Chains A and B, each alone.
Chain A
Amino acid sequence: MKSGLAQLGYTALDWLAELGRSVLFLLRIIAALPMLGRKPRLLVEQVYSVGVLSLVIVVVSGLFVGMVLALSGYRALVQFGASNALGTSVALVVIRELGPVVTGLLFAGRAGSAVAAEIGLMKATDQLSGMEMMAVDPLRRVVAPRFVAGIIALPLLTAIFSVMAIGAGGGYFVGVTLLGVDASAYWHGIQSSVGIGDIIDMFIKAGTFGAIVTWVAVFEGYYAAPTSEGVSRATTNTVVIASLAILGANLILTAMLFSGG
């Protein structure tokens, strides 16, 4: 019993130490950000790498999520004769919750794992040490551009996901084209229920999730053991930790942002 408690204590201490190390790492990244202004090309390359290359999975997922929401929403609403409110229900669910969260989870799986693996492999093959010995700070050259790229890319991907889910190929296709909901009622419902505040809140959530995913990914990659097993663990940890952090942060942000509405 005592050893079990002691083990629990050691685990908690290790976890706290890791958290502290990751916060210090984040501060070092933030300190390296001003240097990014001198080489904007690095940032553009990373936005392409984590953003543009994630488009396919985000677009396809957006379409399917929108279609499923319209299907299940219609079944519930039609019982109350409120099928014309389908646009409202799909839009609010997507913009307030599912858009940022699902895109964040997809981003963690697609881009977060790739960033962690790339940096971990750079470490394992001495590329980071090589940069240090060439008097180039890997935090500035490798880590900072990837961190900022996530904060830029995820809100844009979330907007694309939401448009796909709500629009012509997703919710609209199932609700209006297949189930016969009135098209003007669908669009009017969205127009009257979704305010600019909802859109801003969606971008705040998505930007926060983007920072969380890339922070976890660059930290796990940078401190990965320089072995194949270490890189594998870093990618797995990135997906697991970032996904859980997104869900936890979403709860907090929802409570903060939408408590008045």
Chain B
Amino acid sequence: MTQRADIHDSHSPLVEVRDLNFSIAGRPIYRGVNLDIERGKVTAIMGPSGSGKTTLLRLIGGQWRASQGQVLFDGEDVARQSQRRLFDIRKRMGMLFQSGALLSDLSVFDNVAFPLREHTDLPGELVRDIVLMKLQAVGLRNARDLYPAELSGGMARRVALARSIALDPDMVMYDEPFSGQDPISMGVLLRLIRQLNDALGLTSIVVSHDVNETLGIADYVYVIADSEIVDHGTPDELRQSDSEWVDQFLHARADGPVPFHYPGQSYRDDLLTSAR
């Protein structure tokens, strides 16, 4: 499984997106996007709602295929792999969905044990120990007998985080991990993402539109808008950016390149039309 990964240069980016073009139902989501996800770093993908941030994670995970361009994971084009090979690649990725995506008929313990039971032949006692260690890492060891319906939103995401690192992946992708969280849950998730990344030697991709929180933990940031990367750099570099997009996004301005009014007929023309 790791043979090709070993051959690939360990100093090169873990994920390379090259000239990516992607459309949904004729609407372009990406036009010629290029970006690199460096190993061992927390890379944030930011941008307004509907700018295709989650789509990027699905393209990296091989769930969707780009119409043009390449998405390389450790040197391998994820869109051109057999299902068996793609599944081998996915074992090296963890993904935290916005909804948590916990299996609703399994307990917290069984959810975290799920990938271990599916992909390993480890004895039950060892699976139990690993699951308890993962749950301990996210502070929910004593919630192992609860079911997803009994968890708060923040707890569900922490369980999903424990599950996403169950197989000790190389990379974890976080899809809007902070949305809808109270300040305490948000603080816990922020700390966990940074600590797990550093302690486990992970590579993390955080898709979010929570500006201050994400800039606080990210090593590098890409801002996506209007189907393109409009700017990228370290959090400090972005704060100094002169891009109108970045300015509107970072300072939460109501109007700018992303207009307050949905584009269409002018207000004046609309009123005159109804007067006639």
Interface residues of A (CB under 8 A from B): 122, 125-127, 129-137, 141
Minimal Cβ-Cβ distance residue in B for A128: B101
- What is the CA–CA distance of A126 and B243 in the complex, to the nearest angstrom? 35
- What is the CA–CA distance of A129 and B103 in the complex, to the nearest angstrom? 11
B91 CB-CB contact with A under 8 Å: yes
B118 CB-CB contact with A under 8 Å: yes
A135 and B97: CB pair below 8 A? no
B91 and A129: CB pair below 8 A? no
B103 and A133: CB pair below 8 A? no
Closest 10 CB pairs of A and B: A130-B101, A135-B87, A126-B101, A135-B90, A133-B95, A126-B97, A134-B115, A135-B91, A126-B99, A136-B118
Interface residues of B (CB under 8 A from A): 58, 61, 63, 83, 86-88, 90-91, 93-95, 97-99, 101-104, 114-115, 118-119, 160, 163
B90 and A125: CB pair below 8 A? no
Minimal Cβ-Cβ distance residue in B for A45: B105
Chain B's nearest CB lies how many Å from the CB of A242? 23
22 contacts between A and B (CB under 8 A): A125-B104, A126-B97, A126-B99, A127-B101, A127-B102, A129-B63, A129-B97, A130-B97, A130-B101, A132-B61, A132-B63, A133-B61, A133-B94, A133-B95, A134-B114, A135-B86, A135-B90, A136-B114, A136-B115, A137-B83, A137-B87, A141-B118
Chain B's nearest CB lies how many Å from the CB of A113? 18
Minimal Cβ-Cβ distance residue in B for A136: B118
Residues of A within 8 A of B118 (CB): 134-136, 141
- What is the CA–CA distance of A126 and B97 in the complex, to the nearest angstrom? 8
B83 and A129: CB pair below 8 A? no
14 additional contacts (CB under 8 A) given A134-B118, A135-B91, A137-B83: A127-B104, A130-B95, A130-B101, A130-B102, A130-B160, A133-B61, A133-B94, A134-B90, A134-B114, A134-B163, A135-B87, A135-B118, A136-B118, A141-B118
A127 and B103: CB pair below 8 A? yes
Residues of A within 8 A of B102 (CB): 127, 130
Chain A's nearest CB lies how many Å from the CB of B124? 14
Minimal Cβ-Cβ distance residue in A for B92: A135
Chain B's nearest CB lies how many Å from the CB of A137? 7
- What is the CA–CA distance of A245 and B231 in the complex, to the nearest angstrom? 56
B63 and A133: CB pair below 8 A? yes
Residues of A within 8 A of B99 (CB): 125-126
Chain A's nearest CB lies how many Å from the CB of B119? 7
Contact of B93 among A133, A136, A137, A141 (CB under 8 A): A133
A135 and B88: CB pair below 8 A? yes
Minimal Cβ-Cβ distance residue in B for A118: B105
Residues of B within 8 A of A127 (CB): 101-104
Residues of B within 8 A of A126 (CB): 97-99, 101
- What is the CA–CA distance of A133 and B58 in the complex, to the nearest angstrom? 9
Residues of A within 8 A of B87 (CB): 135, 137
Minimal Cβ-Cβ distance residue in A for B166: A134
Chain A's nearest CB lies how many Å from the CB of B101? 3
Residues of B within 8 A of A132 (CB): 61, 63, 90
- What is the CA–CA distance of A131 and B115 in the complex, to the nearest angstrom? 9
Residue of A127, A134, A141 contacting most chain B CB atoms (<10 Å): A134
B61 and A135: CB pair below 8 A? no
A125 and B88: CB pair below 8 A? no
Residues of B within 8 A of A137 (CB): 83, 87
Chain B's nearest CB lies how many Å from the CB of A103? 26
Residues of A within 8 A of B97 (CB): 126, 129-130, 133
Chain A's nearest CB lies how many Å from the CB of B247? 33
- What is the CA–CA distance of A130 and B163 in the complex, to the nearest angstrom? 10
Residues of A within 8 A of B104 (CB): 122, 125, 127
Minimal Cβ-Cβ distance residue in B for A121: B104
Chain A's nearest CB lies how many Å from the CB of B88? 7
Residues of B within 8 A of A136 (CB): 114-115, 118
Chain B's nearest CB lies how many Å from the CB of A34? 14
Known: A134-B114, A135-B119, A137-B83. A129 touches B90 (CB 8 A): no
Residues of B within 8 A of A130 (CB): 95, 97, 101-103, 160
- What is the CA–CA distance of A126 and B115 in the complex, to the nearest angstrom? 16
B88 and A129: CB pair below 8 A? no
- What is the CA–CA distance of A243 and B121 in the complex, to the nearest angstrom? 43
Residues of B within 8 A of A134 (CB): 90, 114-115, 118, 163
